[in-house]
Structure 1
Amino acid sequence: MYHPFFRGKQYELLTIRENAPLLARSNFIPIIEPVKEAVGGLDRALSAVRDAGGRAIVIVNPHHGEHGPERLGISTMLRERFSGAGIMPAILLKEDTTVDQAVRCFNRHAHEDVVFIHGGFTQAAALTARLSLDMALIRHVFVDGKAPRLYRRHFTGPFRVLVRDGFEKRKNSAYPAIEAFSDLHVTYPDEGMTGFGDFLTVGDEFSESGGPAYAVVIHLTFINSLEDDTMLIHHFLSHRRDTPTDPAGKFLEALGLLMEALRQPGCPIYETGAVMEFRDLHMRNHFPGLGYAKKLSMQHHIETLAQYLRA
Structure 2
Amino acid sequence: MGVARMYNPYFRGKQFELITIRETAGLMAGAGFVPIIEPVKEALKGLERTLQTICDAGGRAIVVVNPYHGDHQEDGVGITKVLQADYIGNDAISAGILLRSNTTLAQAIAACEAHKDHNPTFVHAGFTSQKALAEYLGEDLPASQHVFIEEHANTLYRKHFDGSTRVLIRDGFKRLKNAEYAKTPVEEFSELHLTYSSDLNMAGFGDFLVVGDSYSESGGPAYAVAIHLTFIDPDKDDVMYIYHFVSTSNDTPTDPAGKFAQALKKLIDKLNTGNSKLLETDAIKEFRDLHAKGHFPGLGHVKKLAMKHHIETLAGYLG
CA shift for structure 1 position 132: 4.5
2:154 pairs with 1:145? no
Q: Which residue of 1 aligns with 2:80?
A: 75
Separation (CA, whole Å) in 2 of partners of 1:132 and 1:259: 55
TM-score, scaled relative to structure 1: 0.97
2:185 to 167, 172, 177: 177
Identity %: 55
Q: Which residue of 1 aligns with 2:262?
A: 253
Q: Write out aligned runs for 1:1-311 (5 A).
A: 1-68=6-73, 70-83=75-88, 84=90, 86-175=92-181, 176-189=184-197, 190-310=199-319
* Cα pair distance change 1:128/1:85, threshold 3 Å: closer
Q: Runs of 5+ in structure 2 lacking a partner?
A: 1-5
TM-score, scaled relative to structure 2: 0.95
TM-superposition CA deviations, 1:214-253 (whole Å, max 9, x none): 1100010001110100000000011111001100000011
Q: Runs of 5+ in structure 1 lacking a partner?
A: none
Separation (CA, whole Å) in 1 of partners of 2:242 and 2:96: 29
Separation (CA, whole Å) in 1 of partners of 2:157 and 2:91: 32
Q: How many residues align?
A: 310
The AA in structure 2 aligned to 1:50 is C
Are the counterparts in 2 of residues 139 and 157 from structure 1 also a CA contact under 8 Å? no
- 3-state SS of 2:108 partner: helix
CA shift for structure 1 position 127: 2.0
Separation (CA, whole Å) in 2 of partners of 1:288 and 1:163: 31
Separation (CA, whole Å) in 1 of partners of 2:180 and 2:276: 24
CA shift for structure 1 position 130: 3.6
CA shift for structure 1 position 267: 2.3
- 3-state SS of 1:24 partner: helix
Separation (CA, whole Å) in 1 of partners of 2:297 and 2:76: 36
Bigger shift: residues 91-100 or 67-76: 67-76
TM-superposition CA deviations, 1:23-77 (whole Å, max 9, x none): 1001000000000111011111111100000000000011111112543111111
TM-superposition CA deviations, 1:94-145 (whole Å, max 9, x none): 0110111111111101233110011110111222334444211111111102
Bigger shift: residues 270-279 or 117-126: 117-126
Are the counterparts in 1 of residues 169 and 205 from structure 2 also a CA contact under 8 Å? yes
